[in-house]
Chains A and B, each alone.
Chain A
Amino acid sequence: MKIIYCWRLVATGFAFVLFAIVALFLAILLAPLIQLFTSSPIKRRSITRKSIQQSSWIYLRIMRGLGLLSFQFEGLERLNRPGILVIANHPTLLDAIFLMSVMPATTFIVKAAMARHPVTRWLVNMAGYIPNDNVGVELLEKAATALKAQDQLMIFPEGTRTDDSGIEFKRGAANIALAADCPIVPVLIDCRPMTLRKCEKWYQLPKARPHFYFKVLPEINPRVIDHQQTKGIQARQLTQLMQSNLVEELRRLA
């Protein structure tokens, strides 16, 4: 038992270092190559996203190979369409990496800290991911414009990882969907035993190897909300609907 634990601790440390190396390497390698071979910013963006997708795909398989975790995806075909707003609950640090590994053309709305972090800022910039620091009207307009242009957007409506008080969506995601009048595709994320929560340090290992389960749920159409009501009330109702939908599904799993 002790030996296995030590192995997992070392491997986990390695995985964190590897992440930083891959992210930096990608940025350093990609930046000049992309500058050299394409002049269009949109093309650069899409190459960067594709590279992030492939690197995270491989990275997660290395983690699995090291015996650090296992994972399973379900319903991925539901993500195969443009102009949707993808939302998910946010239990762990790895959620975004997992989703990036299966979504090669998506604009992720990322934590503002990632857009400033020395390791990730270059990639976030090149990929055209949107930092969530200006959660106000500016972000709302940017996001709605992208969706209307048939971009795919991904946002964690909680704004950060779930804490002890449970899943609590902010209303930004609902406001975006209402402004863009676009379908919402929820992704349920379940991790057992829990690991890499907001309150945990990387070296606090779970008792057993965690299993990640991702299930893409049927879309929610924001038009189910009565549009005669004020915007504020519509956003509250849609947020409530999105949240209870995910919470219900999670409860069903338990």
Chain B
Amino acid sequence: MIHTRDSLLAQIKIILQEQFDIEPDAVQLNARLREDLDIDSIDAVNLMIELKSLTAKKIALENFHQVKTVSDLLDAVLLFLHQNKVDE
């Protein structure tokens, strides 16, 4: 599956709505996950599990230490996908 930033954003919007009842319109690139979208550390773990459906592999929480905003999240997932492709 090939992901662009835009298609990934669309999928993340769906996940956030399904999992946490977050309005898709609120999921802007510069929105902060914790402060603006009210995603806490326990939500973050559930989010990782759901992202697995996009990446086919489980993403370790370590990949997300620097993630503050939706944009950071997209970068982290794209980076992860890229790295795993190189490995294969």
Contact = CB atoms under 8 A, between A and B. Distances in A.
Contacts of A170: 40
A99 to B, nearest CB: 25
Contacts of B40: 135, 170-172
B41 A232 contact: no
Nearest to B20: A232
Nearest to A171: B40
A233 B21 contact: yes
B18 interface: yes
Interface string B31-66: 000000000111111100000000000000000000
A241 B4 CA distance: 40
Interface residues of B, number: 11
B19 interface: yes
B81 to A, nearest CB: 24
Nearest to A170: B40
B45 A236 contact: no
Contacts of B18: 230
Contacts of A236: 20-21
13 contacts: A136-B45, A170-B40, A171-B40, A171-B42, A171-B43, A172-B42, A230-B20, A230-B46, A232-B21, A232-B43, A232-B46, A235-B43, A236-B20
Interface of B: 18-21, 40-46
B78 to A, nearest CB: 24
Contacts of A137: 41-42, 45
Contacts of B42: 136-137, 140, 171-172, 175, 235
Contacts of A233: 19-21
A231 interface: yes
Q: Mostly helix, strand, loop or mixed at chain A's interface?
A: helix
Q: Which 5 A-B residue pairs are closest in the complex by CB-CB distance? A: A136-B41, A232-B20, A232-B19, A230-B19, A175-B42
A175 B21 CA distance: 16
Contacts of A172: 40, 42
A135 B44 CA distance: 12
Interface string A218-252: 00000000000011110110000000000000000
A232 to B, nearest CB: 4
A100 B40 CA distance: 29
Given A137-B45, A232-B46, A235-B42, 18 more contacts: A135-B40, A135-B41, A136-B41, A136-B42, A137-B42, A171-B42, A171-B43, A172-B40, A172-B42, A175-B42, A230-B18, A230-B20, A230-B46, A231-B46, A232-B19, A232-B21, A233-B21, A236-B21
Nearest to A235: B42
A136 B42 CA distance: 6
Nearest to A134: B41
A230 B45 CA distance: 13
Interface string A148-179: 00000000000000000000001110010000
A230 B21 CA distance: 9
Contacts of A235: 42-43
Nearest to A175: B42
Contacts of A231: 46
Interface string A62-75: 00000000000000
